[in-house]
Amino acid sequence: MKWEGLDEELAKMISLANLDYAPERRRVREAFKDVQLQIDHPLFRMHHSGVKTEESIEVNSKGFGIFSKSWLPRNSPVKALVCFCHGYGDTCTFFFEGIAKKLAASGYGVFALDYPGYGLSDGLHGYIPSFDSLVDDVVEHFSKVKENPKYQRLPTFLFGQSMGGAVALKAHFKQPHAWDGAVLVAPMCKMGENVVPPWPFLQFLLCISRLFPQMKLVPPKDIAEMGFKEVRKREQASYNVIAYKDKPRLKTACELLKTTQEIECQLEEVSLPLLILHGEADVLTDCSVSRALYEKASSSDKEILIYKDAFHSLLEGEPDETISLVLDDILSWLDRHCAKLE
């Protein structure tokens, strides 16, 4: 991998790093984070004063060290909490930093975590032995945030992107009355046909995943190429050096497929206020199922925005004006719903 303007010694250190476990991922991120801030991407170019951030690693009830980060307005009261669930292979830092800072500068308290096995949290990189267990970890973390006396009376919103959309929906199913709304960006309610292996090979993978759950055997797809519309921004995604970019692990792939099948059968159970945003040209997650979610969700307060010709990564890989539009649409929806709850 070539990184523009990167010191050769640092590039070599990163290319030789074994990112399977958290200590090495943390070392690499620490060495690389200043380089990331210099990327010429709209999410990094935005400057929002008056935002304070905090990072921590805390051991959860299962013994995993979970990395989390918060972004809060420095000079104004927090008007609502936004709890972010990141996508497959992604982290709660990097591109999301720009999104979180914009929300925090607008008065929101933004909280996020890396799932076990992702980013800076403990666990084998990219390994999801149980999607429901992962959701339990997310619910545990955000419940602690919401229990803070400073935030107990504030509205709370879920914000899920791609696989994080599935995490957010599963969290809602586990806690049907715990949230005041959800923002779902290209939610993983069903995988695109270009991502799912042919049926015979899929059955083979399901069988051997029981014997070799951690094995990386699923045929790789260039997720960045399929998800990012602009080539330059697709290349910039490589600067998230601790993102999981290898072949999916067998058990992970099976858990993701099972989860989408479950969610597709539970769309009527979605009862909270809902904003769905999806790119019309998304081939990673199925836009038609986002439409079905909008139609079938039992919520009386729901909205769907489909962006013509847009790909999967609405907030990272589109032209600058589309990224700005999507951010403004999200912020406008949050502001309207906060006003309703006052």
At residue 226 the predicted structure's pLDDT band, cuts being 50, 70 and 90, is confident
Distance CA(121)–CA(65), nearest Å, equals 6
Question: Is 88:162 a contact under the CB 8 Å cutoff?
Answer: yes
- Backbone φ and ψ for 77, nearest 5 degrees, come out as -70, 150
Residue 177, SS3?
Answer: coil
Domain boundaries, the chain: 8-341
Residue 102, SS3?
Answer: helix
Q: Which CATH number fits domain 8-341: 3.40.50.300, 3.40.50.970, 3.20.20.220, 3.40.50.1820?
A: 3.40.50.1820
pLDDT score of 292 more than 80: yes
pLDDT given for residue 275 in this prediction: 98
The arithmetic mean of pLDDT across residues 24-44, rounded, is 90
Distance CA(110)–CA(83), nearest Å, equals 6
Lowest mean pLDDT among 33-42, 163-172, 215-224, 273-282: 215-224
Distance CA(65)–CA(59), nearest Å, equals 4
In this structure, the number of other CB atoms found within 10 A of the CB of residue 74 comes to: 11
pLDDT given for residue 286 in this prediction: 87
CA dihedral sign, ordered 221, 38, 91, 239: positive
pLDDT score of 198 more than 80: no
The arithmetic mean of pLDDT across residues 203-211, rounded, is 81
Contacts of 283 (CB under 8 A, 6+ apart): 192, 194, 195, 226, 311, 312
H or E element, residue 66: strand 65-73
Summary mean pLDDT of the chain: 92
pLDDT score of 272 more than 90: yes
Lowest mean pLDDT among 75-89, 219-233, 266-280: 219-233
pTM: 0.94
